Amino acid sequence: MMWNDNLKIGVELIDSEHHELCDRIDKLFAACGKGHGKDEIVSTVEFLESYTKKHFSEEEKLQRASSYPKCAAHKAMHEYFKSKITEFKRDLQENGATVSTVSATNYFLMDWLLNHIQKVDSELAQYIAH
Ligand SMILES: [Fe+2]
């Protein structure tokens, strides 16, 4: 639902990882729609915590390898996302999965990822392609 070819930036490894990230967020979204969001949220957040560590470091490696000038700013965005994941995880541990937490988390994940892929990562891909 969320992933489509328009989101491809043209770097195969990155595209397949973005696809995986989108699918996971879709899964959470679908679970919310069936009233099972609370069951799915913890595993989604934990998956994202480990998967984004790997994914972002691969993207950052690619940037260093091509001497990308916006490397530091891009990394700062990744760090922001990681800090949000840590925050969501702590909130879930302390307050449990309330309906408002689940929907706020889901909305943030979808919005951030789509925006990041379409603007920030595609700008990187354009730079690499030149
Ligand atoms: Fe990125």
What separation in Å is there between the alpha carbon of 79 and the centre of ligand 1?
Answer: 10
- Residue 90 backbone phi and psi in degrees, to 5: -65, -45
Instruction: Note the pLDDT of residue 35.
Output: 86
What separation in Å is there between the alpha carbon of 18 and the centre of ligand 1?
Answer: 10
What separation in Å is there between the alpha carbon of 113 and the centre of ligand 1?
Answer: 9
The helix or strand, by DSSP H or E, that contains position 82, with its residue range, turns out to be helix 71-95
Radius of gyration of the chain (CA): 15
Cα first-last separation, the chain:
31
Q: What would the pLDDT profile of 63-117 be if each residue is shown by its tens digit? A: 999 999 999 999 999 999 999 999 999 999 898 888 888 989 999 999 999 999 9
pTM of the complete model: 0.92
Beta-carbon neighbour count of residue 49 at 10 Å? 14
What separation in Å is there between the alpha carbon of 4 and the centre of ligand 1?
Answer: 17
Instruction: Note the pLDDT of residue 1.
Output: 62
Q: What share of the chain is helix, strand, coil (3-state, %, to 5)?
A: 85, 0, 15
What separation in Å is there between the alpha carbon of 39 and the centre of ligand 1?
Answer: 28
